[in-house]
Every structure is written in C-alpha cells, then in structure tokens.
Amino acid sequence: MFLSGNNVCYLNILFIIEHLVVPNILVKVNYLGLNEEKNCVINMRLLPAIGSLRRLPSVCSWCRNSHTDIHTSFSPDSVTKDKYNGITVDLNISHSLTSEEFRTILSDSIQKWRNQGRSAIWIKVPILQSHLIPEAANQGFEFHHAEHHHSLLKLWLQEDKEDLTPRFATHQVGVSGLVIREDTGQVLAIQDQNSQFNLWKFPGGLSNLEEDIGDTAVREVFEETGIKSEFLSMLALRQQHKQPGAFGRSDIFIVCRLRPLTFDIRPCSREIKACQWMDIAEVQKRSGFSAFMRKVTGMAMYGIQHGFQDLDIKYEEMESVYKGLRYKLYHRPVPSDTQTR
C-alpha cells in the first residue's frame, strides 16, 4: 500500500476500497476534518493486502466518530462524576481498549474535561490492563495508590490552581490490648519473636479494614497469647512519624483496656518468644521495658487503686449523616451522659 500526505486516514482508504471498483489506479480523496484538509491515497493494485481495522495505526477524527468498530470514548457506565467536580474512569467497566484507542480517547477526554472546568481525572486500572499505564503517564497521570488487583491514577486539571487532591492513607492504625487482672494487679506482657529491641510489650497489631478498634485489640490478644478478653475502653493514643516498616506512613497506636475472660496462656510460637502475666509494680522497677509501657502500666496501677473513671475513653454509637451507616464516637464521658459505654 502506497500512501502520501502528512495526514493519512486509513478508514477513508477502506471507504474507497468498499465503494469504488477501480483496479490498478491511484485514488485520492479530500475531506475536511479538524478544520484542515487531509488526503488519503491508495494504490488499488494492493487491495488484497489491506488488513483488519484494528491493525491500522492511524484514524482521523471524522472517521473515528462515524465508524462503529472503533471506540471513540469511554463507555458511559465507566465514567462517574464526584462531588469535588472530578471525573473517575473505571477501566474494569469500560469496553476493552487497545493502547492506540486508549491514547486517543484519553487525549480527547482530557481536553474535553479541562474545557468543562473539571478539577481532576481518576483512572482505575485493573492489573491485567496495566499496559495502558504508560499511555496515561505520557499524558501527565501519576500513581495515587495501588491495592490488590488495581491501581488508581490521577491527573490534576486546573493548572493555575493548587492540586487539592488528597493523598492516599497518611497513617496506619495499630491497636494494643492492655489486659489487666485487677484482682492480682497483673498485666499481660509479651516479647516478639523477631523484635530487634527484645523489650516486653503489650500484645497487639494492625487493625484490619472496617474493623473496630476494640475488636482489633481483642483479636490480636487472642491470636498472640490465646487469652480471650473483653473490650472496656481506650486509654491512650500514640502518634509516631517515620515509623519503620510503615511504607512511609505515620503510625497511630491505640491502647485499649481489656478484661480477661480466660487466664491460661497459649502463645503463638510463630510470633511470640515469651508471654506471661506480670506484676505492674515489677514493670515499674525492672529494665527491659520502654517508656511507653511504663507510662501505660502506671495508668493501670492508678486505675486499680482509684478506679478507671478518670482514665477511660468510652464510645457512643451514633447515626451517621450517610444513610444507613453508624459510627462510634470515642470521648471522655460527661458526668450526666448515660449513653457512653
């Protein structure tokens, strides 16, 4: 196939092939598209060599909009608008696109949404369509986050304004269970199997997605020590920046007061090197305890002696502004408040 001209449209060539039976001649077609004249030329002797439409590398705007076999936009059900004037495109919902189709559609869409005054574009890319990511990156997109089987790309459209899109998770949440035996003045303490510090600590770990804080404390205590317990309150919260192993996130670590329901220790051999009921007074005197653990066990000692009413941070379950949802509001109890647990 012999072509000439700076702008060649292969679909126009196929139109000529389909409608003109003129062998062994050179055909030239002129049309107006994108406000300029373009030319399509074909040597008709090479008609048998023309391949399928999907293999053709160049398609003009007029033909893209008129030929049903070529995708010219993201499917409507894959595009949603958010309350912040942004656009989200879910490629898991959209029809399957070649890299060439995606590049062209994305370029057109960016221009359209920028002209509409949209704030940002988000593209959810399934892992099996990751080959499209370089095409988006070449048009200014960057990673926002990736999780499980998809990544989320972002492009801020308002170049004359500060980028207001939020970062992905800025913190991770860990929860520790302070299991107190008030009758004996003891707390449950462990040593991690792989800790570099070899210090005693309270059992605990990271909260799961959509897991309540108290549920995390109860679960972690049982998984690490075999002790069943009941959540009573939050006692303290620690915020740590530059936390090692937190993937660059800050760390929020919450201490919960738990009541033991069982007492026989069955530690997890994979995670725990040592586990025992330990006298609170011993924690205050011996080495091998962090300042954090000393502070919290001091709170436990005060609670045993004077009651926990001045220490406990309780929760109140409330109805959310979002229909059908509820949440837990943690706060120090007001003396007349009977709703706080």
* Measured distance CA(264)–CA(285) in Å, rounded: 25
Do 150 and 183 lie in one domain? The reply is no
**254 domain-assigned:** yes
Cβ-Cβ contacts under 8 Å for 320 (sequence gap 6 or more): 326, 327
If phi > 0 it is left, if psi is from -120 to 50 it is alpha, else beta; for residue 37 that is beta
Rounded to 5 degrees, φ, ψ at 108 are -65, -40
Do 183 and 281 lie in one domain? The reply is yes
Domain that holds residue 32: 10-64
**241 domain-assigned:** yes
Q: How far is CA 274 from CA 157, 199, 228, 262, in A?
A: 55, 10, 18, 18
pLDDT of the residue at 339 = 64
Do 149 and 214 lie in one domain? The reply is no
Catalytic residues: 223
Q: Indicate whether 38 pLDDT > 50.
A: no
- Between residues 56 and 83, the one the model is more confident about: 83
Do 106 and 147 lie in one domain? The reply is yes
**92 domain-assigned:** yes
Tens-digit pLDDT profile for residues 94-150: 878 899 999 999 999 999 999 999 999 999 999 999 999 999 999 999 999 999 999
Tens-digit pLDDT profile for residues 193-251: 887 788 999 999 999 999 999 999 999 999 999 999 999 999 999 999 998 989 999 99
| Mean pLDDT computed over every residue of the chain | 83
Number of structural domains (the chain) is 3
**3 domain-assigned:** no
Do 178 and 311 lie in one domain? The reply is yes
Mean pLDDT computed over 22-49: 39
CATH of the domain at 187: 3.90.79.10
Helix segments in the chain, DSSP class H: 10-19, 61-64, 99-115, 133-137, 213-225, 280-285, 291-306
**162 domain-assigned:** no
